[in-house]
Structure 1
Amino acid sequence: MNIILCSLYYETKRVTGANKRFDYFGKTLLEQKDISLTVIVRAGENPDWTSNVITLPRYDNIPASIRRVLYCFHLTYIFLKSKGVIINDFMPVPLWFSNKNKYFQLVHDIRNFTDYNRAVLKKIASYIQRAQWKNVPNILTVSHFTKKQLVEYCNINPNKISVSYNGIEVTTREHKQRDIDFLYIATYEKRKNHINLVQAFSEYIKHINSNASLYLVGRDLGYRQSIEKLVVELGLMDSVVFIETITEEELKDIYERTYCFVSPSFYEGFGMPIIEAMYFGCNVACSNIEVFKEIAEEHAFYFEPNDVKSILYGMHLARSSENNNVNNISYVESKFTWDSITAAFLGLVGK
């Protein structure tokens, strides 16, 4: 079976959920018998796990809107000539679809239909996305929550939407000394809700443990300065650690040193750090939102993300519980490994 895995958003030096899905899903596909895999990325972003790569020009000096159109033409031409299965996360979607292949548009979330729309043209962007998603033959998304939203917000036929969870890389856990009280991995943007987390952490410092630490890992999308300002105002400079760039090995080390992973996000399509944290034995405290309850089920402590006291209480419960919960780890291993996710996808496409 020929499979094309395409992401023009992929960046080799950035640790994100979307990039991890591309890497680990691709590597696991390569391990399967009778699979021929081709990946499509931008120039300079070749993954180190395959040599069968099509690279498209970066067009960095061209306005983003024109660049997107050029990529749309590139991909339309490539996909029309291709036979097999295509998984593509780039938008705009191809102009035409061929009967020679089975096309899946990968959708991580539909934030452009929420208050957290980052698109420049907002309503116009969401209108275009809706029209394109309705036009594609198949959609692959990462949670039943996002599938439900695609049906409700975009009137997509549920029969053409398949769910393929994100997963974890099975690795050796070293059970290091845990010296980080709280960890949050998220880009600095409004929906990630760093403000309420820092305020709750300040209360934790005042009333529970004055020596506690909070590590914030992620790149800035416009909100980091306001978070740093709040940290200074609350006198938390010695307690809050900011990390922007990180390797997979460094991230693994931090998970293994962390007591509690906390995620106060208002909106997500999945939430990969939650299952990664559980896999490395961290306790999890997270927002009481539908997608987190779908992926973590009873294996997390839930709080209301708009309520600082509720966040504080969830953090306290998670931090005071024992780590390396066998039930949590077994749950992740039974549901979120790339081997099982890949096998389910191949079953979907008839292999």
Structure 2
Amino acid sequence: MNIILSSLYYEKNRVTGANKRFDFFGKNLQSRENINLTVLVREGETPDWAENIITLPRYDSMPSVIRRLVYCIKLTYIFYKHEGVIINDFMPVPLVFSKRNYYYQLVHDIRNFTDFNRAAVKKISSLFQKIQWRIVPNILTVSSFTKNQLIKYCNVNPYKIAVSYNGIDPVKRKKVKKDIDFLYIATFEKRKNHDNLIIAFSNYVKKYEQHATLFLIGRDLGYRKHIEALISKYQIGEFVTIIEKISESELNILYERTYCFVNPSLYEGFGMPLIEAMYFDCHVICSDIDVFHEIAKEHAYYFDPLDHESILNAMKEIKNTEIKDGCKTSYAIKNFSWSAIADNFINLLVK
């Protein structure tokens, strides 16, 4: 079986949920004897594990709209000739589709249909995406939540949407002291709701634990200065550590050191750090939103993300709860292994 795994958004040296999916899903497919995998990325972003590779120029000097159009034309040409399976996350989608292959558009979320649309021309961008999702032959989403949103907001045929969860990569554990009280991994942007977390944490330090620690890990998308100003306002700078660039191995050590992973995000398509934190046996407290219930089920403590008192109460309650060794780890391994996720996708093709 010939499969093209394509992402022109992929950045090999950046730790994100989308990049991790590309790496671990791709490596798992490539390891199968009956699969011939070709990876398609931009120049300079070739993953170390890839064997068969197609690279496209970066075109960094081009205006964004022109660059996207050029990529769309090139991908249309490459995909149309391919016989097999194509998994692609880039938009615009190809101009035409071939009956010689099975095309899947990978959709992580549909934030353009929420208040957290980052596009410059929001209404036009949303309409354009809606049309594209309705014309593609097949769609892969990373959660049932995203699938249901595509059906609800974009009127996409539910029978052409398949769910393929994100997963975890089991690593050798290192038992270390859990000296980080709270950890949050998220890009600095409004929907990630750092604001209410900072207010809740400042109250936690004042009321319950004077030397508690909070680590914030993530790339700045224009909101970090606002959060740093908030940290300064509440005079908790000595208790908060911000890290923007981090390797996978360094991140794993932080998970090992963390007592409680907290996620106050207002909108997600999946929430990969939740299952990673569970794998490392961290307590998990998170927003009371549909997708987190789908992913974490009863293995998390939920709060109202718009109410910093609710977040504070969750922080207080969880710090009075012992960690049961292996409980959350077993759940994460059983439900989110990349091997099982790849198996499910291959079974989908067989059907």
Give yes or no for the alignment of 1:199 onto 2:207.
no
Q: Secondary structure at the match of 2:131?
A: helix
Partner of 1:101: 101
Structure 1 stretch displaced more, 224-233 or 328-337: 328-337
Give 1:316 deviation, angstroms: 1.7
Cα pair distance change 1:40/1:324, threshold 3 Å? farther
Q: In 1, Cα distance between the equivalents of 2:104 and 2:325?
A: 37
Q: Which amino acid aligns with 1:177?
A: K
Q: CA deviation at 1:331?
A: 1.1
Aligned counterparts of 1:170 and 1:131: Cα–Cα separation in 2: 38
Deviates more, 1:318-327 or 1:185-194: 318-327
Matches within 5 A, 1:2-21: 2-21=2-21
Match of 2:343 in 1: 343
Alignment partners' CA distance in 1, 2:349 and 2:171: 28
Asked if the contact 1:280–1:324 (Cα under 8 Å) also holds between the matched residues in 2, the reply is no
Q: Secondary structure at the match of 1:200?
A: helix
The answer on whether the counterparts of 2:281 and 2:327 sit within 8 Å (CA) in structure 1 is no
* Counterpart amino acid of residue 256 in structure 1: E
Q: Which residue of 2 aligns with 1:236?
A: 236
Residue 37 of structure 2 corresponds to residue 37 of structure 1: yes
Helix, strand or coil for the counterpart of 1:119?
coil
CA displacement at 1:4 relative to structure 2: 0.3
Scaled by the length of structure 1, the TM-score of the pair is 0.99
For 1:23, the aligned partner's letter is D
Q: What corresponds to 2:27 in structure 1?
A: 27
RMSD: 0.8
1:293 matched residue in structure 2: 293
Letter in 2 for 1:202: S
Q: Tell me: CA distance 1:168–1:14, structure 2 relative to 1, closer, same or farther (3 Å).
A: same
Deviates more, 1:103-112 or 1:26-35: 26-35
Q: Count matched residues.
A: 351
**Equivalent AA in structure 2 for residue 51 of structure 1:** E
Alpha-carbon distance in 2 for matches of 1:180, 1:18: 26
Q: In the TM superposition, what is the alpha-carbon distance from 1:324 to its structure 2 partner?
A: 4.7
CA distance in 2, matches of 1:23, 1:180: 28
Equivalent position amino acid for 1:242 in 2? I
SS of aligned partner of 1:298? helix
Aligned match of 1:212: 212
Distance 2:82 2:39 in 1: 12
2:186 counterpart residue number: 186
Alpha-carbon distance in structure 1 between the residues aligned to 2:55 and 2:115: 34
Q: Which string of whole-angstrom CA distances, capped at 9 and with x for unpartnered residues, describes residues 170-223 of structure 1? A: 111112111100000000001000000000000100001011000000000010
**Following the alignment from structure 2 to structure 1, what is the Cα–Cα distance between the partners of residues 324 and 174?**
11
In structure 2, what is the equivalent of residue 272 of structure 1? 272
Cα-to-partner distance string for 1:21-62 (whole Å, 9 max, x where unaligned) = 000000011111211000100000000001311000000000
Question: Deviations for 1:225-267, whole angstroms, at most 9, x for unmatched residues?
Answer: 0000010111111000000000000000000000000000000
Q: 1:167 to 1:323 in 2, by over 3 A?
A: same
SS state at 1:349 partner: helix
Distance 1:250 1:14, change over 3 A: same
SS in structure 1 opposite 2:331? helix
* Contact 1:150–1:156 (Cα < 8 Å) also in 2: yes
Q: Which moved more, 1:314-323 or 1:82-91?
A: 314-323
Structure 1's unaligned 5+ residue stretches are none
Residue aligned with 2:298, SS: coil
SS of 1:48's equivalent in the other structure is: coil
Aligned-partner residue type, residue 288 of structure 2: N
Q: Is the 8 A contact 1:180 1:215 kept in 2?
A: yes
Aligned to 2:255: 255
Determine the structure 1 residue equivalent to 2:91.
Answer: 91
- Unaligned 5+ runs, structure 2: none
Distance in structure 2 (CA, Å) of the matches to 1:138 and 1:280: 34
1:72 equivalenced with 2:72 (yes/no): yes
Contact map agreement 1:23 1:47 (CA 8 A) in 2:
yes
| C-alpha separation in 1, matches of 2:89 and 2:23 | 14
**Aligned runs of 1:134-145 on 2, under 5 Å?**
134-145=134-145
Deviation at 1:157, TM superposition (A): 0.5
Rounded to whole Å, the distance in 2 between the matches of 1:67 and 1:200 is 43
Q: Is the 8 A contact 1:301 1:317 kept in 2?
A: no
CA distance in 2: counterparts of 1:324 and 1:228, whole angstroms: 34
**Preserved contact between residue 40 and residue 53 of structure 1 (Cα < 8 Å):** yes
Contact in 2 for aligned 1:7/1:89 (Cα 8 Å): yes
User: Within 1, Cα distance between the matches of 2:22 and 2:102?
Assistant: 18
- Separation in 1, partners of 2:46, 2:324: 36
Question: Partner letter of residue 149 of structure 2?
Answer: Q
How far apart are the structure 2 equivalents of 1:123 and 1:297? 34
Q: What is the distance in 2 between the residues matched to 1:323 and 1:253?
A: 17
* Contact 2:119/2:125 (8 A) holds in 1: yes
| 2:130 equivalent in structure 1 | 130
Give the equivalent residue in structure 2 for 1:150.
150
Structure 1 segments, 4+ long, off by >6 Å, are none
Deviation at 1:72, TM superposition (A): 0.1
- 1:274-310 Cα offsets, whole Å, 9 max, x none, are 0000000100000000000000000000000000110
Q: Residue 299 of structure 2: SS of its match in structure 1?
A: coil
